[in-house]
Amino acid sequence: MKVETDPLTPADVESHGTPVILFTDIGRDVDDEMALVLLSALRKKHLLNPIAIITTLSPQDERANLARGSIDSMGMSDVPVGIGSSGGVDDNIELEVYEAEYSIRSPCIHQSGIELVYAALEAVPPNSTQLLCIASLTDVATIMKEREELFTSKVKEVVVMGGVVSPEIGETLVPDSAYNNNCDISSSRYVYRKCQEIGIPTITLSRWAAYGCPMPPQLFDEMSSTEHMVARNIRRVSKTSIDQLWSKVRLHPSDPRREKIPSRCDVNWFCRTFMSEGKLSKDWKASVWSLVQKLNMYDPLALLLAVPAYRTAHFACKEKVVDGVTHLCVGTSERDTGIKNRLALFNEYSTLFLSAFEESLQRKVNH
């Protein structure tokens, strides 16, 4: 059954929060699904109002099934999900999508994510909507090229989980080699260039910010103890994902099985990033989960950055003014992570995660 993209109900900015359209490659790792969990908490607080969720990166239809099941489980069954592009990946290549019992084919998925975005933008007031991009920028580039006037009139800022070359270099912002940028570097360059040309502010959160506020694996255990099926699956997948990442970084940089992971992500990088101390031999083939001391939550931080109150409280942003428009960057180097107080930020998002699961379960009991 195909879901037709009819005009959507106009977004109520005053009572429901800032309209946001989210682009995600959910299913690669748990980051994206954690962002959706966090989104349900921020929606409950009327801070963000998700008006469309678009899945990108091949196989994007399977990612849509996972997104649909996940947000339905978190009490957001009224939020539309659409299938986006392959995210810059060759048509004959399908990357992994982790399994979940709630990931099933659904008639409530829009076959054209791009048309869903157009309908969503047409339903919102001028200069009201945020685009939150925690995946390849392929679809955003398509939207800007096909409907520039609609984009310019309705989008107030673009929040990107990725990275830029130091904002102190050059007259404009240029995307760096972050994974999301690297999936389709030409689209990434286009989006940044065009946003600066037409005066749409960008807000970029880099990997350095995530490194500045690592999450202890014990939080996954605490979330899983709620018995929410999404929390349990996230805990299971986290262990699998970290083991798979270890397998990939051990490969030669030219090996296609690395799946576009930047060449800087090698064995030494893995040890620095996920282990407090010590090193692993490249020949280590057993599970590394028990050795991991810290995990990085990239996408949930990008989501928090989209909310002005959290942005002010927790992030130290670098400014880049281009033609009178201020663009923000968080995390410009290993020393400058852009995180004001890592403990305060951890307490903020861990409370939001746990409350999202508990409130979701309570709604199910009440119904």
Handedness of CA 40, 29, 84, 263 (dihedral sign): positive
Q: Decide the pairing of beta strands 81-83 and 18-24.
A: unpaired
Percent of the chain with pLDDT over 70: 95
pLDDT of residue 1: 43
CA 14 to chain centre: 25
90: Cβ contacts below 8 Å, ≥ 6 apart: none
Q: How confident is the model at residue 7 (pLDDT cuts 50, 70, 90)?
A: low
pLDDT exceeds 70 at position 306? yes
Handedness of CA 160, 172, 156, 351 (dihedral sign): positive
Q: Which residues pair with 3 in a beta bridge?
A: 110
DSSP 111: S
* Longest alpha-carbon distance in the chain: 56
pLDDT exceeds 80 at position 5? no
Task: Say which amino acid occupies 48.
Answer: L
366: Cβ contacts below 8 Å, ≥ 6 apart: none
Reading the block at residue 290, the tokens are 């028990």
pLDDT tens digits along 43-87: 999 999 999 999 999 999 999 999 999 999 999 999 999 999 999
Adjacency order of strands within the sheet including 48-55: 81-83, 48-55, 18-24, 129-134, 155-162, 202-206, 325-330, 318-322
304: left (phi over 0), alpha (psi -120 to 50) or beta: alpha
Average pLDDT in the chain: 92
pLDDT tens digits along 149-162: 999 999 999 999 99
DSSP letters spanning 202-267: EEEEEHHHHHTS-B-THHHHHHHTTT-HHHHHHHHHHHHHHHHHHHHHTS-TT-GGGTT--TT-SH
Q: How many Å apart are CA 346 and CA 219, to the nearest integer?
A: 10
Q: How many Å apart are CA 353 and CA 40, to the nearest integer?
A: 9
Inter-residue contact 161 to 302 (CB < 8 Å) = yes
| Secondary structure class of 304 (helix, strand, coil) | helix
pLDDT tens digits along 226-249: 999 999 999 999 988 889 899 999
Q: Give the lowest-confidence range in 163-167, 286-290, 346-350.
A: 286-290
Inter-residue contact 336 to 209 (CB < 8 Å) = no
| Secondary structure class of 126 (helix, strand, coil) | coil
| Secondary structure class of 165 (helix, strand, coil) | coil
pLDDT of residue 275: 86
pLDDT of residue 283: 80
Angle between helices 342-366 and 229-249 (to 10 degrees): 140
29: left (phi over 0), alpha (psi -120 to 50) or beta: beta
Q: Which residues pair with 326 in a beta bridge?
A: 321
Of 223, 230, 262, whose CA–CA distance to 245 is shortest? 262
pLDDT exceeds 80 at position 6? no
Residue whose pair of structure tokens reads 């699998």 in the numeric block: 240
